[in-house]
Amino acid sequence: MDLPLIEIVLLAGGEGRRLGGLPKPLLRGPDGRTLLERALWAYRAYGVAWVVAPQVLHPPLRAVSPSFRLLDDPGEGPAVALQVVWPALSAEWIWVAAADHPDPEVSLVERLRLAAAGHAGAQVLRQGIAQPMPGIYRRTAWAGPARSLRALFAPLDLAQIDEAELTPSERASLEDVDLPTDVSRHGLLRPG
């Protein structure tokens, strides 16, 4: 059986505290699609997508789309959530992204995968700081348990691409939604 070259992992946990407990993956864009739908659509060519989300979000996420594998987020942060899904993965490369990016860009996956050749993965540098998400990582280079994504990937030999080298749409795909101003800036609507 041929394994997919890349599997997609979307981390959809978090309590959305700064948004009053709003489930960010279920925010809707002006086009009516949720942030989760946008991500699944952007990465659909890879075929295998995993979503790690709190149990309370499973029914509404399944209503959005049944086309992904869903795992329970233990609620201890993105590093622990990623450690939940990692043993189930089988592809050579793992694309890790949050489900709160309004404009995911598939070309960034290939750009980072090509940069990662000969390395354990690749990340984007934003303002000189390596960003673990979105990023691509070799499944076999797993570093083991850690409490933060930075600590999880710190021991790995990772390629880095400065955000200045990205196209405008790739740079836009790095934006996430954390604050009410982000919701407004991206024209997002509350679920319901």
Q: Give the CATH number of domain 6-185; options: 3.20.10.10, 3.90.1660.10, 3.40.50.920, 3.90.550.10.
A: 3.90.550.10
0.75 exceeded by the pTM? yes
The stretches in the chain having pLDDT less than 70 are 1-4, 143, 192
The answer to whether residues 49 and 8 touch, using CB atoms and an 8 Å cutoff, is yes
pLDDT at 142: 78
pLDDT at 9: 94
**Cα–Cα distance for residue pair 141/137, rounded to 1 Å:** 7
**Cα–Cα distance for residue pair 120/173, rounded to 1 Å:** 22
